[in-house]
Structure 1
Amino acid sequence: MLGRMTATSAPAHVRDLNILLGESARDLVHAVVDATTDDVGGVNSVRPTSVTVRPSGDTLVRYAVEVRRRDTTVVRETLVAATGSLVPRGAAIVAGDLDGESVEVGLWRWPHDPALPGLSHVVDRDRLGALLARAGVSPEHPPTVRVQSYRPGRRAVLAITAGSDRLFAKVVPPSELPGLRRRHELLASCLPVPRLLVTTDDGLAFMPALPGTSGRAALRQGHRLPTPEALEDLLDRLPPALTTMPARSDHRRRARHYGAVLALTVPEERDRVTALAGMITEADAGEHPVVPVHGDFYEHQLLTSAGAVTGLLDIDTAGPGERLDDWANLLAHLAVTETPRARDWEREILRHVHEHFHPKQLRPRVASTVLGLATGPFRTQRPDWMARTRQRIDLAERWLDRP
């Protein structure tokens, strides 16, 4: 049990942000470190590196923590704190009171994420060795594991090098594994999507690395990029059976969600983002047939070589949708990429899309995704997050009004 938490007086819907990003954060981290480590001499620093906020105010924060041991050595840890609906079952709960109101915070430390039970297997040498053997990989020396991404409670991707073999381990909540397996089964037979080598019922999937350079790196390095026609062919090859999978929310619902999140994190822009989300929702986006879509189609999901697509990644959201949404997602990501090569590719793709769809039906979809990307600088806790957030809100407005 934690004693009284300290936070600035605030409405209930921003209270959790104050607790997890204010002075209370250090107390929370101290509580979990003291309870789980025997030789703690102190906590040197606590730095938030990722923040997830829901419109309800429920909040999740990932911290980079420097822990000083009694022998004065310093170790770096990753800890996570969450409130409300973002607390997974199995998290340690720290309780206290704030202004006379009871508050509970869920806590865990890497790699023991209660929502991702398979994660600890990848960083355990013996378990990893057994899983690699099942995948047909038996390295002479211990494999190296590098974290590619970690979204607490949602997913993790780790790169594994075992001798000459390169693999990726994706960890998802166990309930999502059947859908992931099904998507890989459907797509690997007709697209450059990796086949799953091994899966475990606790949400772990191993797959081989594919050749090529990520589209994001190709943009940055000036490599040749796929033509819009090549991308169209890629999307055309998505199998019809994907339409039986669950659908994502549409761009209107996402715009309302993003607007509500931005109203919490940038209250000075509340009126503007609320009005913008409303205009996106009310704009005429047209009626389009339901077809197989990637669901999160943008340059970083592509592996390329000499202008050819050699890999299609992160198919977790593949399912039924409207083709224009895949194009809008790609254009939105290019729009926030501040390089001349991104502008050139954006114009090339935009010309192609305008040949198949009316611009006024594209604009609200791109604006919705850009509004979502405006939540990114705060989520990643960039030092200049406020300025970058406003730049992206401006960009979403320009896309909606674009002639």
Structure 2
Amino acid sequence: MADQSALPDAMLALLTGPDVDELLAAALAPAGARLEQWTVRDVDHRPGRRTTVSYAVHVAWPGGVRAETFAATVTPGGTPAQEASTDRLVVTDGDHEIEVWRFPFDAELPALAAMCFEDSAIQTLRSLGIDAAGAHVDVLSYRPRKRAVIRVSRPGATWYVKVLRPAVGAEMRRRHELLTDAGLPVPVCLAARDDGLLVLSEVPGTPLGSALTVTGAAACDPMDLISMLDRLPAELLALPRRRPWAEYAQHYAGVIASTLPSEAARVHDVAAEIDVALSAYAGGTVEPTHGDFYEAQLMVDDGRITGLLDVDTAGPGRRVDDLACMLAHLSLLTILETGAARGAREALEWWTPVFDRRVDPRELRVRTAGVIVSLATGAFRSQEAGWERSTSDRLTLARLWLDAAGGLRIPV
């Protein structure tokens, strides 16, 4: 029998192969535009479920050529769920449903389009009681079907607008309010709407990742990180519990195997070992957690934590998962060509022994390996140059952390 992990994934091939020319051209035709060229910008691949890809596209409009962002999603099944429009094409080949749309007209983010144009963004904020007259709009990030972050700024004032799926937006607002009431330095939710739009305040400080580049591990005391987590309010325990990154190792192994078949055997072996090792730690104390705790989520100033960001995943969990997430991201920084590599190594050497005193050291390393497996999909998702090598390097890093669990080493 053929090794299924080594076979090409039909949905992935459909949205990254030669069929993309026809899909994008068909999406542009109703608007009287012509496709000039395209490149893949971002890939969110979920084997057997749904694959979403965004593209950087050059489009010839009647008034000239313009750079645009398009996205497409494909799911098994033959009946389109959305109606087509001038900004969205919905087709089916009988086996798959394919939807193609032009940014910012994402059907799953209904609040997005209004926030991407200055006049409508200012008007939207005015309707929420916020005076942003004369403001400039910058789209900082866009994950198709999931979320976008938009900065709205004018001299003396800056707001960050998160656009989420409507159901997620309500949950997000509740988390911000719980954490603000508990005195945590999270952005204040200034306004929200039922369509998934949240307006957040700016928090002071420098991103911890940037501070590591300048001051090394002195950018933050590891005990302050633990204290920040220990201040998370007990009310978070009433929220739905999410599985931590490490417990999705098999899922991410499947993603990697489908995109890089040459690493299928290795990643499945690593994921299986992680699952076996974690089975010894079933249960454990449930505490309030951040859920995605790493250097990009923290703002610091002069060695002090001044901001805690992206609390989308805050809820009940295990402290060891928050600390493993931090170590995994730091470890990844050590192999990336960034200025933070030296500071990240210093932090790993100082912070890991401190974390070891708070949680089980062996479990911490196993879960760090699991988080790194999840991060190993990132190079392909963001279509980095040389993503194949980057993926392999990250799997090697995961293996080092898994092996380190035996002797409680720090693989730096």
- Paired with 1:127 and 1:321, the residues of 2 have a C-alpha distance of 40
Counterpart for residue 195 of structure 2: 202
Whether contact under 8 Å (2:122, 2:133) holds in the other structure is no
Q: Distance in 2 between matches of 1:180 and 1:105?
A: 29
Structure 2 CA distance for aligned equivalents of residues 104 and 181 of structure 1: 33
Seen in structure 2, the aligned counterparts of structure 1 residues 255 and 140 have a Cα distance that, compared at 3 Å, is: closer
Within the candidate set 284, 297, 305, 1:301 is matched to 297
Q: Summarize the Cα distance change of 1:229–1:56 in structure 2 as closer, same or farther, 3 Å threshold.
A: same
The corresponding residue for 2:337 is none
Q: Which of the numbers 253, 258, 276 marks the counterpart of 2:270?
A: 276
Question: Aligned partners of 2:76 and 2:321: how far apart in 1?
Answer: 28
Q: TM-score, normalised by structure 1?
A: 0.90
Distance (whole Å) between structure 2 residues aligned to residue 193 and residue 317 of structure 1: 13
The Cα of 1:138 is off from its aligned counterpart by 2.5
**Structure 1, unaligned runs of 5 or more:** 1-9
Counterparts of 1:148 and 1:313, CA distance in 2: 15
Taking only aligned residues, the RMSD between alpha carbons, in angstroms, comes to 2.1
Paired residue for 2:309?
Answer: 313
- Pick one of 119, 142, 145 that aligns with 2:137: 145
What is the match of residue 226 of structure 1? 220
Q: Pick from 112, 120, 124: which aligns with 1:119?
A: 112
| Aligned residue-pair number | 386
Q: Is 2:12 aligned against 1:17?
A: yes
Q: Give the AA of the match of 1:26.
A: D
2-structure distance, mates of 1:175, 1:88: 18
Give the Cα–Cα distance (whole angstroms) in 2 for the partners of residues 113 and 182 of structure 1. 24
Q: Which amino acid aligns with 1:321?
A: G
Instruction: Specify every segment of 5 or more residues in structure 2 that has no aligned partner in the other structure, as ranges.
Output: 335-340, 408-412
DSSP-derived class of the 1:315 partner:
coil
Out of 204, 209, 228, the position equivalent to 1:211 is 204
Aligned equivalents of 1:188, 1:320: Cα separation in 2: 17
Q: Identify the residue that residue 373 of structure 1 maps to in structure 2.
A: 375
CA deviations 1:185-214 (Å, max 9, x no partner) are 100122001221111111000011111111
Task: Show structure 1 runs of 4+ deviating over 6 A.
Answer: 10-13, 85-88
Q: How many percent identity over aligned positions?
A: 37
Picking from 363, 366, 369, the partner of 2:365 is 363
| Match of residue 329 from structure 1 | 325
CA contact (8 A) 1:95 1:102 kept: no
Give the alignment partner of residue 121 of structure 2, picking from 106, 119, 128.
128
1:16 aligned partner, one-letter code:
M
Aligned to 1:183: 175
Q: Name the aligned partner's letter for residue 79 of structure 1.
A: F
SS in 2 for 1:116: coil
Whole-angstrom CA distance in 1 between matches of 2:44 and 2:248? 15
Which stretch of structure 1 is more off in the superposition, 80-89 or 322-331? 80-89
Verify the 8 A CA contact 1:88 1:114 in the aligned structure 2.
no
1:34 has 2:34 as partner: no
